[in-house]
Amino acid sequence: MLELDRRNILPEHQAGFRPGKITIYNILRLERYAQNQPRCARRLSAVILFDIKAAFDSAWHDGLIYKLNDLRLP
């Protein structure tokens, strides 16, 4: 993750596996954003949050390695 941070590859608000960042801040940010939007009777919004455990175990490893090589990551 340090290399990804150093090269600014990850979005600023990416919290997973990053020291000093926790997901609750992103949830609060989303809530604040929703509260500040103008209300419209004909417009609905929904949010789906995923916390995928063991995602790496089921990832397509060949594709993941390809992408890491494409980004020139060690």
End-to-end CA distance of the chain: 11
Q: How many CA atoms lie within 13 A of 61 on its CB side?
A: 3
Arithmetic mean of pLDDT, 48-73: 83
How would residue 41 be classed by pLDDT, with cut points 50, 70 and 90?
Answer: low
pLDDT band of residue 66 (cuts 50, 70, 90) is very high
Q: What is the CB neighbour count within 10 angstroms for residue 37? A: 9
* Spatial separation of the C-alpha atoms in residues 39 and 58, rounded to whole Å: 40
